[in-house]
Amino acid sequence: MLLELLNVNTFYGASHVLQGINIKVAKGEVVGLLGRNGMGKSTTLKTIMGLVKPHSGSIKFQGREIAGSPPFKIARQGIGYVPEERRIFPELTVLDNLELGIRGGKIKDPGNIGTWTLERIFDHFPKLKERKNLKGRFLSGGEQQMLAIGRSLMGNPSLLLIDEPTEGLAPLLKDEVRDILKAINEAGVTIVLVEHNLRIALSLVTRVYLMGKSHIGYEGSTEELRNNEEIRAMYLEA
């Protein structure tokens, strides 16, 4: 397993927001973490990333325990994170934003075909190439999302955690972001995706975890979820 959460518990103060979370992600997968508002999806990603410390439980990445490690160490081991709020630097150019994503300030092994370089990122995001000298604040919402994803790739992650990448985007842009994520996965990056848009999620993921309040309520293949109206009604649809 690339990533394994075992009985993870997280609190915000006295509020027990993750109660015994178990998730397994194999190399190469796109795993969906879906559920209604406030169930704990973002908190799960933040807990994996070390931004919120788990109270108990185990989080293993490539077989190593990472629960309790600080975020920069977790990032260094090869986990990239694109938060809901994107957090690009508005006063820096696209190029500078991307260069800030490089782990340790230097691209390791730039000659390796699998290494993410600016050139490779621009191949995936031609719009960013056109706007490379523009400040982040002049980008559209969709372009900012692409920049946030591109920046996380500059760290050469083997696992990418992405929180609602298509939120607030026009339908065509949602599809564009979906296609980019698919290409990134095909290029070898494993993905854990939090996504509200079921159509987008089902077209990307191989397996899903559905969250009820603070727990995982259902786990299955994309095909199983597609055919199970009852489960969708219980965990997803209004």
Ligand X SMILES: Nc1ncnc2c1ncn2[C@@H]1O[C@H](COP(=O)(O)OP(=O)(O)OP(=O)(O)O)[C@@H](O)[C@H]1O
Phi, psi of 106 (to 5 degrees): -140, 135
Give yes or no for residue 86 binding ligand X (CB under 6 A): no
Complex with ligand X: residue 32 or 40, whichever CB lies closer: 40
Angstrom distance (rounded) from CA 171 to CA 156 = 29
- The one of Mg ion, ligand X, none whose footprint includes residue 133, by CB under 5 to 8 A per kind, is none
Of 179-238, binders to ligand X (CB under 6 A) are none
- The one of ligand X, Mg ion, none whose footprint includes residue 154, by CB under 5 to 8 A per kind, is none
Give the total of residues touching ligand X (CB under 6 A). Answer: 11
Radius of gyration of the chain (CA): 17
Cβ at position 205, least distance to ligand X in Å? 16
For residue 192, list its beta bridge partners.
Answer: 31, 161
- The one of ligand X, Mg ion, none whose footprint includes residue 86, by CB under 5 to 8 A per kind, is none
- The one of Mg ion, ligand X, none whose footprint includes residue 39, by CB under 5 to 8 A per kind, is ligand X
Give yes or no for residue 10 binding ligand X (CB under 6 A): no
Cβ at position 28, least distance to ligand X in Å? 25
Angstrom distance (rounded) from CA 44 to CA 33 = 9
Strand order in the sheet with 159-163: 79-82, 159-163, 190-194, 30-35, 207-212, 215-221
Cβ at position 78, least distance to ligand X in Å? 23
Give yes or no for residue 12 binding ligand X (CB under 6 A): yes
Q: Considering only residues 3, 5, 8, 17, which one is a binding residue for ligand X as defined by CB under 6 A?
A: 17
Residues 154-167 as b/e (b if ≥16 CB within 10 A, e otherwise) read: bbbbbbbbbbbbbb
Q: Interface with Mg ion by CB under 5 A: which residues?
A: 42
Cβ at position 98, least distance to ligand X in Å? 26
Complex with ligand X: residue 37 or 133, whichever CB lies closer: 37
Among the listed ranges 30-38, 124-132, 134-142, 200-208, the one in contact with ligand X (CB under 6 A) is 30-38
- The one of ligand X, Mg ion, none whose footprint includes residue 70, by CB under 5 to 8 A per kind, is none
Of 35-54, binders to ligand X (CB under 6 A) are 35, 37-43
Q: Which string of DSSP letters, residue by residue, matches 176-226?
A: HHHHHHHHHHHTT-EEEEE-S-HHHHHHH-SEEEEEETTEEEEEEEHHHHH
Q: Are strands 15-25 and 3-12 parallel, antiparallel or unpaired?
A: antiparallel
Complex with ligand X: residue 19 or 62, whichever CB lies closer: 19
Largest Cα–Cα distance of the chain, in whole Å?
50
In a 10 Å sphere around its CB, with 0-12 CB exposed, 13-18 middle and 19+ buried, how is residue 77 labelled?
Answer: middle
Angstrom distance (rounded) from CA 130 to CA 127 = 5
Q: In the complex, which residues of this chain contact ligand X (CB under 6 A)? A: 12, 15, 17, 35, 37-43
